[in-house]
Every structure is written in C-alpha cells, then in structure tokens.
C-alpha cells in the first residue's frame, strides 16, 4: 500500500509538472532562422560546378577559391584565425553573412560567366534575406569587404598557370553523364 501511494505521488507530481510545462508553451510559431550564408553558397557553388560540367581537377580549384574567399571575408570582420590571403581590414560593423555571399558570388561569377543570370538571382535573394534581419549599412559594408577579398584572391591566383582552362568533364567513359542513365 505504501508503494501505491508513493507511485501515485510520483505520478501526480509528473502530471502537474507536465501540465505546467504545457501551459507555459507559446502557441505562436517561432520565426524561421536565417539561413547560414556560408553553407548556402557552398551549395550554390556545388550546383554551379555541376551545371558548368567542370572537370574534377578544375572543380578542386574553384572550391579552393570560393572557400578561401568566404573564409577571409568572414574572418576579416572579427578575426579569430590567421588569414589565408587577405589580411583582416573590414569595418567592425560589417555583416559577415553579406561578406560571405559577396565573396562567393564574385568568384563564381568570374569563373562561370555563362551562369551570370542564375548567380545574380541567387545573390539578390541572399542579400534580400540578410537585409530582412540586418541594417543596410552593415550589409553594404559586408558586401564591400567581400568584394575586396574576392578581387584580391582572383588577382593573386590569376597567374597560377591554370590557363587555358581544362576541357569540360564528359563523364568517366567519355560520354555525357546524362547518357549513362
């Protein structure tokens, strides 16, 4: 009998705590978190490389250019690590998210001019999403810094012997990858 009373006491305490917890839950849905600009533009880079039918050897270079640009752009605002190519020199209030978007966009636009329309639309959508949560002054400063970083990296890598560009990747068996399906 003592055990039953004790379990009743534990059960009732649990139910009271559960009901109290449910009563304090806000029924309004939480606002969606802003997308991570770095991850978003790494995905855009992947899609751009695939759409451009870039050879695997050249895609590693594109990945390195975009990755380095994003890193130095984001790190250059509130430096936590040693820079890869561009010493930190951004305004402290600059948007890291806008800097990442701009840096990736500039590199991809330079490497894939044929995809300018798609890249422009994705850039504009990303910047609009950032402007919804950050000040225009911060976003503008971030974009300016991202532009600077990407331009410096493109300039430094322009003489790395990568020209002419390798031929497009046509699949493992020498035919379009879509023909294999």
Q: Which two tokens stand for residue 95?
A: 């948007």
d(CA 126, CA 131): 9
d(CA 75, CA 139): 16
Q: What is the pLDDT of residues 96-153, one digit of tens each?
A: 999 999 999 999 999 999 999 999 999 999 999 999 999 999 999 999 999 999 999 9
**DSSP characters over 70-110:** HHHHHHTTS--S--SSS-----TTS-HHHHHHHHHHHHHHH
Q: What is the pLDDT of residues 13-36, one digit of tens each?
A: 555 555 555 555 555 454 455 679
The answer to whether 143 and 80 have CB atoms below 8 angstroms apart is: no
């Amino acid at each position: 009998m003592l055990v039953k009373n004790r379990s009743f006491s534990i059960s009732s305490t649990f139910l009271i705590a559960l009901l109290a917890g449910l009563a304090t839950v806000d029924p309004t849905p939480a606002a969606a978190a802003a997308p991570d600009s770095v991850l978003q533009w790494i995905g855009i880079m992947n899609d751009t490389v695939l759409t451009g039918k870039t050879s695997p050897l050249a895609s590693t270079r594109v990945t390195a250019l975009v990755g380095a640009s994003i890193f130095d752009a984001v790190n250059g605002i509130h430096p936590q690590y040693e820079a890869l190519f561009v010493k930190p020199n951004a305004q402290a209030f600059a948007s890291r998210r806008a800097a990442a978007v701009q840096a990736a966009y500039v590199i991809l636009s330079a490497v894939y001019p044929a995809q300018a329309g798609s890249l422009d639309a994705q850039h504009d959508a990303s910047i609009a999403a950032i402007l919804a949560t950050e000040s225009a002054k911060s976003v503008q400063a971030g974009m300016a810094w991202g532009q600077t970083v990407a331009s410096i990296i493109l300039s430094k890598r322009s003489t790395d012997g990568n020209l002419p560009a390798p031929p497009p990747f046509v699949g493992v068996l020498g035919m379009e990858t879509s023909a294999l399906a």
